[in-house]
Chains A and B, each alone.
Chain A
Amino acid sequence: MTGIDAPVAQDHLARLHADLVARAARDEVLDVAYRTIDGPLGPLLLAATRAGLVRVAFESQGHDQVLTDLAARISPRVLAAPARLDAVARQLDEYFDGRRRAFDVPVDLQLVGGFRRTVVEHLRDIGYGHTASYAAMAAVAGSPRAVRAVGTACALNPVPVVLPCHRVVRSDGSAGQYAGGAEAKRLLLALEARVGDAA
Chain B
Amino acid sequence: MTPRTTPLHDSHLALGARMIDFGGWDMPVYYAGINEEHRAVRSAAGVFDVSHMGQVDISGPGAEDFLQRVLSNDLGRIADGQAQYTLLTNDAGGIVDDLIAYRRGPDDFLLVVNASNTEADVAVLQAAADGVSVVDRSAEHGMIALQGPTSDDVLDGAVADIPPFGFAERTVAGVACLVARTGYTGERGVEIVTPADGTLAVWEHLLAHGAVPCGLGARDTLRLEVCYPLHGNDISPTTNAIAAGLGWVCALQKDFTGVAVLRRTKEEGPAQRLVAFRMQERAIPRGEMAILDRDGTSIGAVTSGTLSPSMDEGIGMGYVRSDHAGVSSAIVIDVRGRPREAVVAGKPLYKKES
Partners in one complex: no
Chain B interface (Cβ < 8 Å from any Cβ of A): none
Chain A interface (Cβ < 8 Å from any Cβ of B): none
